[in-house]
């Protein structure tokens, strides 16, 4: 019995992640605020000086490109009414746009926006990014899936935890300096995660940015906070700048990576 208890205690300790660092992202560290026309943002990436967006909702799902210098949006492709678009990423020269429950992935090759290749993925899809030359997918659980980019078969999984607690509702994803950045659906939080262990290292609170970007809608009688949640992360690797936005937000915020991690509002906590 003592051996069993010791083994159980040892296992629980070795499986625990370190305490999580908490940071509040204040408005004074915003590098730039880009005005945009609100759309139902489901995925965001930065590529070759432009921002690409996957916008959702049945009957309104699209692939768009945004000029970060002017905030203008251009529709690249309108998806069939039966599709609810979700995450977006780029691997090599191919853009991958996932659907929510329709089990279809749209692959845009060589900027052929109007005629994407369609592949089947047997599962629900939320956010997606690329890591280690594979697709990294979320599905609203605490688990992330590595997919083969050719076959879309699951090759590996990661369980994401805050200390000992699984981090559920993982949604939009981005790789920033080798770490996985993920938001959770319905919250103002972005989490930085170690890809090798699945341990959350930092929680970033973007509630101040959320208020700024949804001010245009908050006084409307039909305002629904669930239709205005944080849901977009993109990264410019060369300039080390992070772009963040959300569903029906009126702004995209640009943040310098060093400004985020030099914030004085630090706190460590355990779950």
pLDDT score at 127:
97
Strand partners, 173: 182
pLDDT score at 10:
39
How far separated are the first and last CA of the chain, in Å rounded?
Answer: 28
Confidence of residue 264 (pLDDT cuts 50, 70, 90): low
pTM of structure: 0.90
pLDDT digits (tens, 9 = 90+) for 40-74: 999 999 999 999 999 999 999 999 999 999 999 99
Q: How far apart are CA 17 and CA 14, in angstroms?
A: 8
pLDDT digits (tens, 9 = 90+) for 106-163: 999 988 999 999 999 999 999 999 999 999 999 999 999 999 999 999 999 999 999 8
Strand partners, 165: 162
Mean pLDDT calculated for residue range 235-263: 92
pLDDT digits (tens, 9 = 90+) for 71-116: 999 999 999 999 999 999 999 999 999 999 999 999 999 889 999 9
Nearest Cα to Cα of residue 155 among 180, 132, 182? 132
pLDDT at residue 246 tops 90: yes
Confidence of residue 5 (pLDDT cuts 50, 70, 90): very low
* Residues ≥6 apart with Cβ < 8 Å to 271: 20, 162, 163, 164, 165
Cβ neighbours, 10 Å, residue 245: 27
Alpha carbon dihedral 78, 36, 171, 266, in 10-degree steps, equals: 170
pLDDT digits (tens, 9 = 90+) for 159-213: 999 988 999 999 999 999 999 999 999 999 999 999 999 999 999 999 999 999 9
* Residues ≥6 apart with Cβ < 8 Å to 253: 30, 32, 33, 34, 209, 212, 213, 243, 244, 245
pLDDT digits (tens, 9 = 90+) for 203-230: 999 999 999 999 888 888 888 989 999 9
Q: How far apart are CA 209 and CA 243, in angstroms?
A: 12
Strand partners, 53: 44, 64
pLDDT at residue 243 tops 70: yes
- Contact (Cβ atoms closer than 8 angstroms) between residue 190 and residue 201: no
Which secondary-structure segment (H or E) carries 138? strand 134-138
pLDDT score at 21:
93
Strand pairing class (170-176; 165-166): unpaired
**What rounded mean pLDDT belongs to the chain?**
91
pLDDT score at 40:
97
């Amino acid at each position: 019995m003592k051996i069993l208890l010791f083994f159980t205690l040892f296992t629980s300790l070795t499986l625990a992640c370190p305490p999580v660092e908490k940071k509040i992202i204040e408005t004074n560290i915003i590098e730039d605020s880009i005005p945009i026309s609100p759309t139902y943002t489901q995925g965001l990436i930065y590529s070759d000086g432009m921002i690409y967006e996957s916008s959702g909702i049945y009957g309104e799902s699209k692939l768009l490109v945004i000029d970060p210098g002017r905030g203008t949006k251009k529709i690249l492709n309108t998806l069939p009414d039966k599709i609810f678009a979700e995450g977006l990423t780029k691997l090599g020269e191919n853009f991958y746009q996932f659907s929510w429950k329709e089990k279809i992935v749209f692959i845009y090759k060589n900027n052929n926006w109007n005629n994407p290749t369609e592949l089947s993925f047997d599962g629900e899809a939320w956010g997606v990014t690329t890591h280690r030359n594979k697709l990294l997918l979320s599905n609203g659980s605490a688990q992330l899936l590595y997919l083969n980019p050719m076959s879309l078969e699951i090759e590996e999984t990661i369980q994401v935890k805050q200390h000992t607690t699984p981090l559920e509702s993982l949604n939009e994803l981005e790789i920033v300096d080798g770490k996985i950045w993920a938001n959770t659906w319905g919250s103002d939080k972005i989490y930085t995660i170690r890809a090798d262990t699945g341990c959350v290292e930092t929680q970033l609170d973007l509630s101040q940015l959320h208020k700024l970007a949804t001010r245009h809608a908050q006084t409307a009688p039909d305002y629904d906070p669930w239709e205005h949640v944080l849901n977009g992360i993109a990264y410019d690797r060369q300039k080390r700048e992070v772009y963040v936005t959300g569903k029906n937000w009126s702004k995209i915020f640009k943040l310098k990576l060093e400004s985020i991690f030099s914030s004085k509002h630090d706190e460590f906590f355990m779950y």
